[in-house]
Every structure is written in structure tokens, then in C-alpha cells.
């Protein structure tokens, strides 16, 4: 056994040990960034060091600062764990070290993206003819979708954005809900539109875009290139926009419809929740994450487009040295994404879908939604706690007091370590925010977390 094989076997044992313990370990890190950095030797070594020594120091240095986000009691942001099959596939992807730019460079990587992408479209009720790019996450997927939309709507008004840029282009209307995700705003800045380009449409009671207000806004506006940003899964409440009504308005006004479905698009995969995203197939582009509800290791996102040629024109490039970028090729890889240097993300997504199957994905969605409702029921039963949103998916917002008390409860829960969750500001009010996204979360995990919130609130009220 050579040094590499011995080190890999040791690393596999360390990973297995970590995964066994993460279900019961403290969720929050034991040390903050500053303490972790202070414990590392800041001096760049002059000479090579043995492999075992490097890895031993890596593990010892990183362990105090590891967040237990792979475990069952992490409810911050919208973070899934990682399924066993997807984890192992991702380890293999690292070992194989493929650059998934094109079929000449990494044929296996692109083939697995082809198959996994087809499966994703089927599960998410998207057109089979749509293109799909495997990207880092929702930020990249939203940027790709909106870049394709920019090219499409400007071309419809006689302007080639890829050739001529934006300086003298017709002004593009960007219409989006007040409760859109912030990655939409950043994508628009990256694409040269800027924050002030957004025409905001008010939201309904649970945070979904008001389709009547959208129709009125479109009717009032000029006949101009228009992009509408809708969402499936409000990051605070889980609410999904009425995509059927929004798509009808988009078609009436010749607008491009982009759907940010980073986690909420997975509602389509379950018969119990598919009604929430009815009409999703009518959009022009979609964003979705794998490292959220599919529980694929970070990072994994998907950018879908109903107009593959537009998708390619917005993203692809050629150069004399790029083998395989020939006319007439089957598009894939870097043709659909901003990166030339691409991790082979299709392996982990394929493994996750193969291990779960259609029924397993539906069960994962259903189980997380059921556990979110259990969270809501448990919190509503506590004195001083009120769930303020309609729990339609896996997101729960709970009022535990005024803004100051909420922040203190958040901090105490995180220090306690039983679970990890964050706070948010929704409609001017500070609230605890819970996202149930992991395959490994159980009823017992939820109940223990409710008790931790109760205990933290009581302690802060008494302080």
C-alpha cells in the first residue's frame, strides 16, 4: 500500500467517523473564524512536508471550526445534508479530477450531466427540450437565466447584446416582486442593469407576488423589452408565486419569465405539493439548487432554459486552442455556464437521483414539509411564541418577542448547540427562521429543537 492509498483510506475513515457523530454532536462550531486562523501556523513552509503531517494538521486545525450543517438539526439558510450516494460520488469526482468543460475534455462528466439533467427536468415538470447547465448554485443559475433573458428580449427589439453591449441598447424593464431573493438583485448588477432597474410588484399575505398587481404594472408600462422575475419558494415563508397567472401576463406582453426556484421548485417532485408550482413549465428559464432539497454536497445548482439556442448564445465562447468546440457539436458543459473550469457536478446529482428514485425524492420533500409543520405546531404551543407564516413548504417563521429579544434568543440557541437556526427580518419584524431541508432530520430532532428554543427564550426573558 503506497502513501496515497494509505492516506485515502485514513481520510475515508475520518469522514465516516464525522458522519456517524454529526447526528448527536454540537451543531455550531466550537471556535470562531478568528480562533481557527490564530491556531494555524501563518508561515509558509520553505520545504515539502510529509503527506500524513499535512493531513493531520488540516484535520486538527479545521475540526474546531466545522459547522454541523451535514447533520439533522441544522435549520439555517436553506441547507440540505448530503446523501450517502451523492457524498461518495463527489469524492470520486475529486479523485477523478475531471474538468467538465466539453465532451473532448471530459466525456463521462458531460454524459452524466446529460442523463441527470434529463431526470431533473422530468422530476421538476420542465420541458424535455429545455437546456440545463450545472452551476455552483442559485446565484449562478439566476445569472445565467437572466443573461439568456436579456439576450432574448433585446433581440426581439432588434438589438444584439452579445455583439453591441448595453450602452445604446433599448432600456429593459425588469419586473420583480418585493420579496424576491437578493441573488436576483446581484445577478442584475452583474448583468449591467443595476438595482434601480427593478420595478417592484407588491406581495400577497404569505409573500407571493400579487399577479393582479403584476398585470396592472405591465399594462401601465411602455412597450419595451421586459423580463419578469417570479419565484417558487419565498426564502422566508416558502410561498410560491402563481406561475400560471404570471406566465399568462408574460405571454400577453411578450416578456421573458424567469423563475427563481432554488428550493421551491422541488415542490414539483411530490404529488402533494406540485399544485404550488402549477404552470412552472410555461416559464422561459428556471433556477434550482441540488445542495438544498436534493441533498447533494456543496456546490450544486442548475440553470434551465426553454430556449437552448439563446442559452448557448448567452454563455458559450470559442477559441482556437479549445479542442472540441466545433460547429455542430452537441452542446453541454461550458456552453451553458459561465465557467470554463468546471467541477464534474453531474456525478453527485446522478448518484443522488439514482439512489432515491422518483418516489424517494417525493418522500424527501413530503417528510421535510411534515417536519416543518411539526415545528410550527410545537412552537405555537409554547407561551410567547407565534408562527406568523402559512407553512406551505419547509420554511417556518416564529415570533418570540420584540426585535432585541429575538436576536438574543437566536444567539443563545446557537451557543447552546442543540440545533442551529438564524433570524430574519420580515415585513419590519425580527423573527426566528427555520428551514427543514435535510434527509436525516427526524421528529425527535424537531422536538429537541423546539425545546431548545423554549429554554433559550425563557432564559432570555428571565435575564
Burial degree of 33 (CB within 10 A; 0-12, 13-18, 19+) = exposed
In angstroms, rounded to a whole number, what is the distance separating the alpha carbons of residues 270 and 263? 13
Residue 185 has pLDDT above 80, yes or no: yes
- DSSP letter for each residue of 72-94: TTB-STT-----HHHHHHHHHHH
Average pLDDT, the chain: 97
What 8-state DSSP symbol labels residue 235?
T
Helices assigned H by DSSP within 102-160: 107-123, 138-156
Residue 1 has pLDDT above 70, yes or no: no
CATH 3.90.480.10 fits 88-351, yes or no: no
> What pLDDT shows up at residue 102?
95
Residue 40 has pLDDT above 90, yes or no: yes
Neighbour order of strands in the sheet with 301-305: 131-135, 301-305, 285-289, 256-260, 226-231, 173-177, 198-201
Percent of the chain at pLDDT > 90 equals 97
Strands 422-426 and 429-435: antiparallel
User: Which pLDDT tens digit goes with each residue over 187-205?
Assistant: 999 999 999 999 999 999 9
Q: Where are the domains positioned within the chain?
A: 88-351
| CA R_g for the chain | 23
> What pLDDT shows up at residue 76?
98
What mean pLDDT do residues 306-328 have?
94
Amino acid at each position: 500500500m503506497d502513501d496515497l492509498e494509505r492516506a485515502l483510506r485514513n481520510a475515508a475513515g475520518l469522514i465516516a467517523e464525522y458522519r456517524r457523530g454529526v447526528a448527536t454532536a454540537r451543531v455550531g462550531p466550537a471556535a470562531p473564524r478568528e480562533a481557527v486562523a490564530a491556531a494555524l501556523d501563518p508561515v509558509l513552509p520553505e520545504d515539502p512536508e510529509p503527506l500524513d503531517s499535512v493531513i493531520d494538521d488540516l484535520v486538527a486545525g479545521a475540526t474546531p471550526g466545522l459547522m454541523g450543517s451535514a447533520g439533522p438539526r441544522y435549520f439555517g439558510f436553506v441547507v440540505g445534508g448530503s446523501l450517502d450516494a451523492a457524498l461518495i460520488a463527489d469524492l470520486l469526482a475529486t479523485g477523478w479530477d475531471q474538468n467538465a468543460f466539453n465532451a473532448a475534455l471530459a466525456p463521462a462528466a458531460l454524459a452524466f450531466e446529460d442523463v441527470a439533467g434529463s431526470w431533473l427536468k422530468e422530476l421538476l415538470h420542465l420541458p424535455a427540450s429545455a437546456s440545463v447547465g450545472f452551476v455552483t448554485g442559485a446565484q449562478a443559475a439566476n445569472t445565467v437565466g437572466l443573461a439568456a433573458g436579456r439576450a432574448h428580449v433585446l433581440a426581439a427589439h432588434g438589438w444584439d447584446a452579445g455583439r453591441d453591449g448595453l450602452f445604446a441598447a433599448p432600456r429593459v424593464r425588469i419586473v420583480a416582486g418585493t420579496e424576491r431573493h437578493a441573488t436576483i438583485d446581484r445577478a442584475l448588477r452583474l448583468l449591467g442593469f443595476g438595482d434601480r432597474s427593478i420595478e417592484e410588484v407588491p406581495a400577497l399575505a404569505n409573500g407571493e407576488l400579487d399577479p393582479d398587481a403584476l398585470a396592472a404594472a405591465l399594462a401601465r408600462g411602455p412597450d419595451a423589452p421586459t423580463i419578469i422575475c417570479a419565484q417558487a419558494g419565498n426564502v422566508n415563508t416558502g410561498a410560491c408565486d402563481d406561475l400560471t397567472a404570471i406566465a399568462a401576463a408574460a405571454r400577453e406582453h411578450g416578456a421573458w419569465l424567469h423563475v427563481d426556484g432554488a428550493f421551491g421548485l422541488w415542490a414539483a417532485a411530490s404529488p402533494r405539493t406540485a399544485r404550488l408550482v402549477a404552470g412552472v413549465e410555461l416559464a422561459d428559464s428556471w433556477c434550482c439548487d441540488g445542495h438544498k432539497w436534493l441533498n447533494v454536497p456543496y456546490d450544486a445548482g442548475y440553470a434551465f432554459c426553454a430556449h437552448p439556442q439563446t442559452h448557448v448564445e448567452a454563455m458559450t465562447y470559442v477559441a482556437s486552442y479549445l479542442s472540441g468546440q466545433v460547429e455542430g457539436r452537441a452542446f453541454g458543459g461550458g456552453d451553458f455556464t459561465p465557467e470554463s473550469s468546471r467541477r464534474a457536478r453531474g456525478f453527485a446529482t446522478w448518484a443522488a437521483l439514482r439512489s432515491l428514485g422518483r418516489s424517494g425524492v417525493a418522500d424527501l420533500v413530503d417528510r421535510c414539509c411534515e417536519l416543518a409543520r411539526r415545528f410550527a405546531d410545537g412552537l405555537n404551543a409554547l407561551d410567547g411564541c407565534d408562527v406568523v407564516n402559512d407553512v406551505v413548504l419547509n420554511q417556518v417563521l416564529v415570533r418570540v418577542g420584540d426585535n432585541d429579544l429575538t436576536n438574543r434568543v437566536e444567539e443563545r440557541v446557537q451557543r447552546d448547540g442543540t440545533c442551529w437556526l438564524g433570524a430574519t427580518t420580515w415585513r419590519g419584524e425580527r423573527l426566528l427562521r427555520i428551514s427543514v431541508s435535510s434527509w436525516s432530520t427526524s421528529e425527535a430532532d424537531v422536538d429537541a429543537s423546539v425545546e431548545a428554543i423554549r429554554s433559550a427564550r425563557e432564559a432570555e426573558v428571565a435575564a
